Structure 1
Amino acid sequence: MSSIPVCIDISHHQGYPDFDQVRASGVLGVIHKATEGSNFIDDARAENLANAKRAGLGIATYHWLKPGDARSQIEFYLSVVDPEQGERVVIDYEEDGCTLHMLKEAVQALLDYGSDLQISVYSGHLLKEQLGDNVDDFLAEHTDLWLAQYASESSISWPSGTYPQWSLWQYSETGEVPGIDDSYVDLDNFNGSAAEFLRWINPKGGFPMPVPPPEPSEVVSVAITAPEQVGVRVMINGKVVRHRPLRPAKRGPDIVR
């Protein structure tokens, strides 16, 4: 597995990355948190995704589903994001207390919105435990799977009765990517080629040609050895390109209701 993922997923906890550096490292896409529950809006989304798109990255958003009225949550998400025709949208389904009924209510709300949205479900153990080996025809027809499981690819498992294959796999929550200095970041690989990933993450009907990273005219290698407890700030031509230590990224709900 490459050390540079095809895709990263972020929220306001990663601050405001330098997406030119992110893209130059080899990352092709960004999925950003948009909303949670019925009243939380990630205030970094709009600026971050505009900058990511400007840098040539594919972009999409997700809603963190909380226990409760799933339809009203999705209507809130849609009012914030206002997705375009054929856009990729993701339901983050991982919080205890959420049920398959709620998940399918959320999917149905997206279907009712129209616009031929592409729907993915992000989940790990919760969906696998609830589906087991069963086949859920509704989810199989209308969604694909973004799997969260921090293990080697040879040992991961998922509810394959409903999803014969995963589309995206989050394999780490402690990744480091050039251009993101505020915290660790989630790393994701796609089950296909780079071109297939760009078709997957972008709205139906076409996708932008990836912007090639600039070719360095000369490469300077520098090795730094420092104790773990010592912070390191690396500057190139007066610009900070890496600052250690990174803080752990928050993985969990931003609001408690």
Structure 2
Amino acid sequence: MKRNILYILCGLALTCSINPTYGNGYMRGLKGLDVSHWQGYVNFNDIKNDGIEVIYIKVAQGSDYQDPMWLQNYNDARNAGLKIGFYHYITASNNEEAIQQAEYFYNLIKYKEYECLPVMEYTDNPIISNYEINEVVTTYMNTLKNLVNSNVAIYTDEDRVENLWEASLSEYPLWIADYSGENPYLGSWDSWAGFQYTETGSIYGINGNEVDLNYFKDTIFVNQNTAPPAQVPPAMPPSHVIAPSAPPTYTPPTYTPPNHVLPNGSIVYLGHIVQVGDTLSKLAERYGTTVEYLAEINNITNPNVIHVGQILII
């Protein structure tokens, strides 16, 4: 895609800023990217050098699936100095599920630092009506907003803005996907906080896959660029502390969240990525805990169902 940037040079250079605009003067905003495991390994230093300032990371889907790359993406993006946001693809069909999924998302991100509003993505649900979809999404957004103690945003496309979402949802900042031109259709919203203008972009730092490219305004940020402080994680149960002299009982998977070393030299293992053949009962036996504990701490409603790639707190 050809990109034209118009710079307006101010006579008083020290007091005037240079802002990227469309030819018609419409503000673009900060360049941003959204990533999930579909992009594979991302070199966040390279994408930052290519002009990206905002990165949205897919964290989870529904109430029992975590994107297998989200923790690595978070740590690498943080180390690169990018402005970070998280998004959650929800699948709820009723208000109870909406509350459960909002709590699931919140529990995953509450110990992380982020600058951008948490975002919900919802597409279609053929088993409920448009009215019920709006009710479910409203319940989710209200629940998440109360949990994170800040505003939250909605990601959607121009078709759903026009044909699905009720005006009441316009109280939440809009991240709109519209590939038809420079000015996306906004429906009941007065403006956009995020604008995804292509799904076939390319950028240094991501090889072989087309990517979504976005612009973000300052309304996408939490409290004008100030993210809520990360909460202090609760102490892990004593049964999960391995003495320094004890030999390891398993080989960690290819990627696990960073281990925390306690003052006495003990190590707390924070996570396990589900592999083929894993079950909660096998993992409980391996780590010296119970199926009930693993199900509870990971918000798993059916202990007989876990997914390959799912990251479990141990």
Q: TM over 0.5: same fold? A: yes
TM-score, normalising length from structure 1? 0.67
Ranges in structure 2 where 5+ consecutive residues have no aligned partner? 6-29, 228-306, 309-314
RMSD: 2.8
Residue deviations 1:123-181, cap 9 Å, x none?
012243123xx631xx333x100001111114x3122x2x1111111111111010001
Quote the residue 1:95 is aligned against.
124
Cα distance between partner residues in 1 of 2:58 and 2:164: 24
Quote the residue 1:227 is aligned against.
none
Change in 2 beyond 3 A, CA 1:73/1:45: same
Identical pairs, percent: 25
Match among 28, 36, 46 for residue 53 of structure 2: 28
Ranges in structure 1 where 5+ consecutive residues have no aligned partner? 209-253
Change in 2 beyond 3 A, CA 1:126/1:206: closer
Cα distance between partner residues in 1 of 2:116 and 2:213: 21
* Residue pair 1:85, 1:117 contacting (<8 A) in 2 also: no
Match among 116, 136, 146 for residue 149 of structure 2: 116
Residue 58, structure 1, aligned to residue 86, structure 2: no
Residue deviations 1:156-207, cap 9 Å, x none?
3122x2x1111111111111010001411111112x4xxx37xx34x43645
Quote the residue 1:212 is aligned against.
none
Residue 71, structure 1, aligned to residue 96, structure 2: no
TM-score, normalising length from structure 2? 0.56
Residue 17, structure 1, aligned to residue 42, structure 2: yes
* Residue pair 1:8, 1:186 contacting (<8 A) in 2 also: yes
Cα distance between partner residues in 2 of 1:2 and 1:56: 25
Change in 2 beyond 3 A, CA 1:3/1:64: farther
- Give the length in aligned residue pairs: 194
Match among 215, 218, 223 for residue 204 of structure 1: 223
* Residue pair 2:92, 2:101 contacting (<8 A) in 1 also: no
* Residue pair 2:155, 2:176 contacting (<8 A) in 1 also: yes
Change in 2 beyond 3 A, CA 1:3/1:71: farther
Structure with bigger RCO (C-alpha 8 Å, 6+ apart): 1
Moved more, 20-29 or 115-124: 115-124
The alpha carbon displacement at 1:84 in A equals 5.5
Cα distance between partner residues in 2 of 1:67 and 1:105: 10
More strand as a share of residues? 1
The alpha carbon displacement at 1:47 in A equals 1.1
* Residue pair 1:10, 1:30 contacting (<8 A) in 2 also: yes
Cα distance between partner residues in 1 of 2:99 and 2:113: 19
Residue 135, structure 1, aligned to residue 167, structure 2: yes
